[in-house]
Chains A and B, each alone.
Chain A
Amino acid sequence: MSELATPAPISAPTPAATATRTHCPYCALQCAMTLTLEPSPATSPSTNPVTVTGAEFPTNRGRLCRKGATSAALLGDRPDRLTTPLIRDGASLGRANRDSAPLREATWDEALDLVASRITALQQSHGRDAIGVFGSGSLTNEKAYTLGKFARTALRTSRIDYNGRFCMASAAKAATEVLGLDRGLPFPLTDLDAACTVLLLGSNVADTMPPFVQHLERARSHGGLIVVDPRRSATAQLTGDGAGHHLAPAPGGDLPLLLSVAHVLLAEGLADEDYLSRRTTGLASFRRSVADWWPERSQSVSGISAGRIRWLARHLAAAARASKAGGDPVFILTGRGVEQHRDGTDTAKAAISLALLLGLPGTRHGGYGTLTGQGNGQGGREMGQKADQLPGLRSITDPADREATARHWGIPADALPGPGLPATQLLHTLGTEHGVKALLVHGANVAVSAPDVQHVEEGLRALDLLVVCDFFRSETAEFADVVLPVLQWAEEDGTLTNLEGRLLRRSRAVDGPRGARSELWILAELARRLGSTVPLVSEPAEVFEEIRRVTAGARADYAGVAWDRLGEVAAYWPLDEHAPGTHPGPPEITVSGEPVIGTPRVFTESFGHPDGRAHLGPIHVRDPQPPSAQGLTLTTGRLMEHYQSGAQTRRVPDLLGMHPEATVSVHPATAVGLRLVEGAHAELRSTSGSMQARVVFDSGLRTDTVFVPFHFAGRGAANRLTAGLLDPLSQMPEFKNTPVTLHPAPSVDGARS
């Protein structure tokens, strides 16, 4: 395009632009994209030579959202990029000096020697569990696997968990309990394309993964998109003009709503009794537990009227019945909106139970799925960085699973640590009597993303050693004793597993900065320095081959696909090494032409439990929290322009410009009563702390609910308000239901990131 304007230098032949096909650095939709590296003119090295275009792929069909389209802004020479290890002098002397001592540049040898010697000393005086490891659903499969192996073999600590505990733990637990297997979407995403009815519970895909919305087109054209969200979110707005329906339950109302829909299905004889008797157990106990939730009672808790509850039950039942008579399939999908609660597991179980009552999962007539959030949120929870899991979704408490893993790692099974502390407990006990003394953080920004961040900050300060691996100096890195610069996304190879359980190749397109290293290399080096007898490999392809061997025969079985075939085939786990190319049903190719191997649809023959059935069971609603003095509840969530803690997207000018600071959305009628002015700032207070945000009026919001995005730091961090309340089944913290009060705030500074 600019060939005529900027002629190439005559002295050198014009290098051709190189195009690399890879996937987006952000969410679990993992849109395919082409990174084109333009030969950069020597005269202007500061201009970013990489352009991003969407590529044909089943999940995104060539489309990208604004985050993906601007993702290349994070590549290239940036002044804020970490390019050398940093050390805080005096780190080994104790905590008092940390704030006064700045981070200084160091060599890799100095940094790694320091980390290894401090770990050794701390474990000698406090035991092996004195060291904690915090991983991420943003790490590649290879890094997540190696991190778990490093923790259990080199550190031999049980104290490892990851930020997926904040996103997927409840849905994972629910699917494991009811369906016997945790694969986010147990069917290819493109199965949604045929759906006439999609019930979307607590997911704002139009903002969080916009290209996903294409797959709702048919449902919308049939008026069958039903969105359950306390906000009239961008996704809820997609139900307008006859495209569907929006239900806005009250805070804490999701579970009673679903149970009362189940109640109506059962009471009115609308459930698929034949399917239930063939494919499930436990119906009687589930039926009795929902007997308490007749619609008029549910209405007083869920805020959804009894008539609407009956309508929803009948609508779903009619659609499911029509589907079985040759019509279009019906799907129920959940997202973080219903999962990030103290009763998130129960709510996800209720959604799955509803799908079972309708006779959908494991049939051609639809199903249930959860929409995984982080880029490798699915693979990240299978690779053994979860406190209670080993690679391949093996259980750390199951003797056979321990034996299988230990054999591959060349250690006796009893040398493997037991289950550790789930993420929030790990972070809320840092430096205390019961907590770890040192923490290694990989691919996470816990000083923004964890609930009750002030509590976490105190813990980070109380640690004897904090090591942060990142490519930018994140808010968490500011607390670190050692910061290790790592490679990102387009600078390295790896694999990820997307929201439908499909394995993807991430390809290296550009060189990383000199001085930054892959975490695979860092972990191998640390293991060696710690004298580990279990060597770690640092080549992604080699690690992947190891993952194939280790997960062979496990629930998340990756054995059946080779590294170099990942670009050619659509490989869905479980991938049996003996017959990966065969799966029930006719040969299948994706819309972008790859042959499907492995298991695109996991429950067609049987569910994951040993008896092959789905396990229904009683679900009871627990007490709500006491309301705030103003009766307002905070829910947090994502914006179109930002991703997670904002460590990446707040560094992209186009994105930061669109949404530069924390905002609080308030219904105008609520705002008037609280003397809040649109555009001015408000202070939000909860039992955990306070934050400031600019007031945005939103008449599509419930009057008892306010919304704050969680991408911002400092005084604008939404997690200054959230508490460390946990779902007892999944140990996932509650982000979506915090009692708060709002007050006009005089100051306007401080809310910026």
Chain B
Amino acid sequence: MKLRNQLKAALRSLGKNKMRTFLTMLGIIIGVASVIAMLAIGQGSKESIQKQIANLGTNLLTVFPSASMTGGVRMEAGSSVKLTMDDYKAVSSRCPAVLYSTPTVRTSGQLIAGGQNWRTTVWGVYPDYFNIRNLEIEKGAAFTLNDDRTATKVCVIGQTVNKYLFGEGQDPTGKIIRINKIPFQVIGLIATKGQNAWGQDQDDIVIAPFNTVQVRMMTVAYIQSIMLSATSEKMIPEATDEVTQVLKERHRLGPSEDPDFSIRSQADISSAATATSSILTALLASIASISLLVGGIGIMNIMLVSVTERTREIGIRMGVGARGRDVLLQFLIEALMISLIGGLLGVGLGIIASGVIASIMSWPVTITIQSIVLSFMFSTVIGIFFGWYPARKAASLNPIDALRYE
């Protein structure tokens, strides 16, 4: 039998029992829709986590000196003063896997501008810091290496600082603030970064040239940490190894000795968070696919009823020359049509449902083409899988028995 006639016949016989066909389809519609919605929620949360992590800085590595030990008492990490400017220079010049790098010092400072004051952390860094942390300058400009060399008293401030000192939306560039009584000229305003994944306000910050903070404010010789970015995400382990090697060599430590510094990378946090959200997505999708499976069983059930009901029709068709495979195909096409049409409607419903979830629950939701293709294919496979047994049963009927069936 020609495919076109098969399709026509299948459509007609599905049309004969509209209510039944629709209810059977509903199982697949709900199944596909929930798979798409669940995958969209999973993907959305994954992306929002990744975005937050990327917000912290791209391929960020931070080198801290280890905890200092005084008479057997360990102090907190970073309390040692063993990182020096020479360490930084060695790292920045001898590690090919490192793209940007900066030494950092930070201190807290009381800021005063006009009648307002505010207390926050003041960072002393190289201009590379803006690249490492993905900071954008909204107004004005960042300082340069030249400002650092001459220890110029300029700074760039975050939105929160601007809000408390000058008022929200004001342009602070050119204004003078006093940090711990030292006057600084504000030359730039950082674009809003928002909170990081741990709820810390990333806009509550003042950034000034490294030398200015180290020499003029803190009057120390050490550096507190080295921040750097690897050339790519894949190069993070490579960069870690290079930095470890260079620093161990400079600190005269053997390869088997414990380093007196530690390197923290964003990759650990990122992969842990991504793994968590992947597990969440898989969990949601597998629960949703169970409903798709139940829908498939519904198809099988109805097709079995249909085969029994239409035994005589099968007998007539075989009597006039339908082969087993013609009958098999006829019932398989009917099952497939239910699941394909159900799948299509399900995709539509899934997209609508995702939109509703996004707007009512205000969850991040991302529908991917893959999730649509995947769930549509899954529903097709279910149609074939659960349609096969009833179709097989119909095809294996004996024509004479089928014709006699009452």
Chains A and B come from one and the same complex = no
Residues of B that sit less than 8 Å from A by CB: none
